[in-house]
Amino acid sequence: MRRYSAFAIAREAARYHTGWGRAWRNPTPKKSYDIVIIGAGGHGLATAYYLGKNHGLKNVAVVEKGWLGGGNTGRNTTIIRSNYLQDESAAIYEKARSLYESLSQDLNYNVMFSPRGVLMLAQTEHEIRGYKRTEHANRLQGVETRFIGPKEVKRLVPIIEISGPRYPVLGALWQPRGGTARHDAVAWGYARACSDMGIDIIQQCEVTAIRQKNGAVSGIETTKGEISCNKLGLVVAGNSGVLAEMAGFRLPIESVALQALVSEPIKPAINVVVMANTVHGYISQSDKGELVIGGGADGFNNYTQRGSFHHIEETVRALIETFPIISRLKMLRQWGGIVDMTGDRSPIIGRTPLENCFIDCGWGTGGFKAIPGSGWSMAATMARGEPDEFAAAFGMERFIEGRFIDESVAAGVAH
C-alpha cells in the first residue's frame, strides 16, 4: 500500500494522478480462514483491523452482502461524544473518542475528525438536574464535560434562540472534545489498512447459512460458496436478529428506522454539534455547508431505509423554534438507517450460545461514535475468547441476570 503524504500528492499531481492504485484489494474468498467477520461496516472493519494490529491475527475475512460501508456507517449523522452516565458506557465511548483523535495518523487516512464540541441542551428543569448529575459522574470517570448556562450557550452558538416559546434553553452539558468525523472516510480508512495487512474484504457476498459441528461454528455458506472458519463474528447492526436465527439463538433486540436529513448548503453558521433531547433533534454543519439534522427512531419495528415524513416534520418544526434562522432552508435529501435496539439501549459484545461465535450489536442510534472502541474491544474478545475490560459488562447474560446498563433513562436519549 502506498503511503499517503504531501510528497505523494505532489508527485501524482505532476503526472496527472495516473499512479494511484486501488485503496483496497477485491479478492476471491479462500476456502478457509481463522476468523470470519460478517459485516463490512465501521464496526466490522474496525474489529478486523484491531485483530491484525493488536493481536497479529491476519488470516481474516470480512464478508459483506452489499458494498463496504453501505449500511448504517454511510447513513448516520457523524456525532462523536462520550458523556454517558453509566460507568460502563462512559468507558467504552471514551475509549472510542480517544482513538478517533489519532485515527487519521494510525490509518494514514484522513477521517476528518473535528473536535468541535458537543452541546446537549437542557430545556426543562428535569434535564438540568440530569445533566448536572452526569457532569459529576463524568468527572469521576475522567471524561471532560461541564454544565454551562444559557449565556455561554449563546456565545458558543450565536444563531440559537435561548428564549423559545415552548422550550427555552436553560443550560447545556458541554463536552469540548466531542465532535464529528467523516463517516465514509472512517470505513475507507479501516478497509485500506485491513487490506494492506492481508485481510480479505469480500463484497457482494451474502451469508445464507451458518454451519455448526458439535455445538461450535464451523463455517458459513454464502452466495460465493462455502467458507470454513475457526471463529465467527456477527457485526451487522439491524440485521443481527436475522443472523442470530441462522446460528440458532435469539437476541433481545428490535430493529427500527432512524431518520436524518441535510439542508441545502449555506455559509458557516454553526461550528459545534447541538443536541436537543427534549424535542429529540440534533444539528451540526458539514464541511460542504449542509446542516446535518437528525431525529428520533420510528416507534414501530421496520427495516425501511427511508423513514416517515411526519417524523421529519416534527423534528424540523421543533428545531426551527430553537434555530429560527433556518426556517427558510430547503431540504436537500432525507434517509433512514436500520438500528438495533436492546431493552436498556446498551450494546451487546461477547460470546453467543454457539461456541466460537461472537457478536457485536445493539448500539442503537449511537453506533458511529463507538466504532474504534467497539472494534478494539470486539477484537480482543474474539482473540482471547473472553471479553476484555470494556466488553465485560455488555454480555448477553446481563438480560438473564437483570443486570441492565440503562442508558435510555440515564442519557435522556439513546444517542
Domain positions in the chain:
6-78+183-252+345-410, 115-178+255-342
Angle of helix 42-55 versus helix 183-196 axis, rounded to 10: 40
* 3-class DSSP assignment, residue 387: coil
Closest CA to 391 of 43, 24, 149: 43
Q: Which residues are CB-contacts of 387 (< 8 A; sequence separation ≥ 6)?
A: 349, 350, 351, 377, 380, 381, 394, 395
Max Cα–Cα distance, the chain, nearest Å = 65
Residues composing the chain: 415
- What pLDDT is recorded for position 29? 95
Q: Which three cell numbers mark 318?
A: 421543533
Q: What is the pLDDT along the chain (415 residues), one digit of tens a residue?
A: 778 898 898 998 999 888 888 889 999 999 999 999 999 999 999 999 999 999 999 999 999 999 999 999 998 999 999 999 999 999 999 999 999 999 999 999 999 999 999 999 999 999 999 999 999 999 999 999 999 999 999 999 999 999 977 889 999 999 999 999 999 999 999 999 999 999 999 999 999 999 999 999 999 999 999 999 999 999 999 899 999 999 999 999 999 888 899 999 999 999 999 999 887 789 999 999 999 998 877 778 888 877 677 778 888 888 888 999 999 999 998 888 888 999 888 999 999 999 999 999 999 888 999 999 999 999 999 999 999 999 999 999 999 999 999 886 544 444 4
Q: What predicted TM-score, i.e. pTM, was given to this entire model?
A: 0.95
Class of domain 115-178+255-342: alpha beta
* 3-class DSSP assignment, residue 71: coil
Cα 307–Cα 309–Cα 312 angle in degrees, nearest 5? 90
User: What is the b/e burial string over 80-89, where b = at least 16 CB atoms within 10 angstroms of the residue's CB?
Assistant: bbbbbbbebb
Total Cβ atoms within 10 A of residue 49: 27
C-alpha–C-alpha distance, residues 253 and 170, integer Å: 35
- What pLDDT is recorded for position 219? 97
342 neighbors 364 (Cβ within 8 angstroms): yes
- What pLDDT is recorded for position 88? 95
- Taking only Cα atoms into account, the Rg of the chain, rounded to an integer number of angstroms, comes to 21
Q: What is the architecture, at CATH level 2, of domain 6-78+183-252+345-410?
A: 3-Layer(bba) Sandwich (3.50)
Amino acid (1-letter code) at residue 137: A
